[in-house]
Structure 1
């Protein structure tokens, strides 16, 4: 009926199906999803997906007997809903926008928000989620899958529980964490480092978005459709620039830090003073840097 294909752009584990049929002309067929597959690809639960459908936030799926088939349009709509929720819109307000778009009212503004192709809606990250059984997780982190570590990973959003499986948000993060633990660093320390990196990454993201707001959209209180198109173009160009700046600065910082560590290891017998400077050598019979001793105990030239 349908061939299972590998899914790209962050979709979970080849969830999409390629529709085939007599009209196949050699071009790539549109991808389709069953209900559970669509929910996984959108990063939501099946229950949430059904709730959105009941609220008429999604157009009806294609029916094939008792099977509901969804397509990329449904997936993009779900990503748009998630993005609008993150920007402070309520489900009621989103429903009004969708209604206005579908009925042609305020078509320009609503279509721009719900255009579903915008860089503002599509995620910057192109991470591939990974589905793991408990045994898979234990194999990645032997003797480290404790209740505390699981709670921390859930709190950070690195993992989510889906039935009997665990979904890790990023293949690259999973591989990096596995490698660090393999080097002998405890998983708890790796997760705490991830929390600190998250805080710094949020600060860097704030810095770049504030630059755009302060210098390119000065005085703009509400984005018009033209503003949205311009902002989409700006953010699309900003993505590689921000990644380049962060990559270079991190590399330079690591160079500086490694050199400093090597220098400190090369002088293990020189205790540092309170300001990080080597302590002065003590005078005979006195404290380092203290008053010089007096009396016969001090030899004098020619004495």
Structure 2
């Protein structure tokens, strides 16, 4: 424990406190000797980074509990064939930087449930760089991350239905055609119909509310 504390730049008392709070996992024991490894050191450095970003110890404990209960990256990325999406590896502090003030245990749990995030040791893996970048952009525009994730949940249900529809149609009428040809055609149909649907809707009124002052 003394060696771990020295490497992390904190006191033994702090390490013991973190262990008692469940912020770091127990050490591996051999007789009376407790062994800590790089995983413990990485966790301590993450705790320090999150504290610097304004997270509380209680909040970090909640994040750690959700993180450790998440699905393994092999389980998430192993579903289905390889796709056009590029996974992104992030440390917990890098994720916090992308969504400043929005990385809560509730939001993390929602993203894990959606299958957007997975765990890989001390890292977090987002399954799609495009989804990650768009989500961060929406949050920067003022949309709460919770609303982005709820919208993602609803969109996911509709897109699963669309994927089933095109799979059924292609299976019945184009089973001998290369999927590499059919996939962009299906995407073009969805993108065009979605664009038309947006055009039919009025734009949100962004005019400031009238002042009540006289």
Runs of 5+ in structure 2 lacking a partner?
1-72, 210-214
- C-alpha deviation, 1:213, in angstroms: 2.8
1:151 matched to 2:109? The reply is yes
1:257 matched to 2:190? The reply is no
Runs of 5+ in structure 1 lacking a partner?
1-42, 46-78, 87-121, 218-229, 269-303
Mapping 1:223-262, distance limit 5 Å: 230=176, 233-258=177-202, 261=204
Q: Which runs of 4+ in 1 moved over 6 A?
A: none
Mapping 1:31-180, distance limit 5 Å: 44=74, 122-123=81-82, 125-180=83-138
Distance 2:198 2:159 in 1: 16
More helix by share: 2
Distance 1:157 1:174 in 2: 12
- C-alpha deviation, 1:216, in angstroms: 4.6
Distance 1:234 1:207 in 2: 18
Give TM-score scaled by structure 2 length: 0.57
1:188 matched to 2:143? The reply is no
Give TM-score scaled by structure 1 length: 0.41
Q: Which string of whole-angstrom CA distances, capped at 9 and with x for unpartnered residues, describes residues 99-150 of structure 1? A: xxxxxxxxxxxxxxxxxxxxxxx43x31111111111011111111111111
- C-alpha deviation, 1:155, in angstroms: 0.6
SS, match of residue 201 in structure 2: helix
SS, match of residue 125 in structure 2: strand
Residue 216 to residue 161, structure 1, CA distance change in 2 (3 Å): closer
Distance 2:190 2:165 in 1: 12
Larger Rg belongs to:
1
Q: Which string of whole-angstrom CA distances, capped at 9 and with x for unpartnered residues, describes residues 238-285 of structure 1? A: 1111011011111111111135x56xx89x9xxxxxxxxxxxxxxxxx
1:207 matched to 2:165? The reply is yes
Q: Which string of whole-angstrom CA distances, capped at 9 and with x for unpartnered residues, describes residues 52-92 of structure 1? A: xxxxxxxxxxxxxxxxxxxxxxxxxxx9xx57xx6xxxxxx
SS, match of residue 118 in structure 2: strand
Aligned residues: 135
Which residue of structure 2 aligns with residue 76 of structure 1? none
Indicate the RMSD between aligned Cα atoms, in angstroms: 2.5
Distance 1:245 1:251 in 2: 10
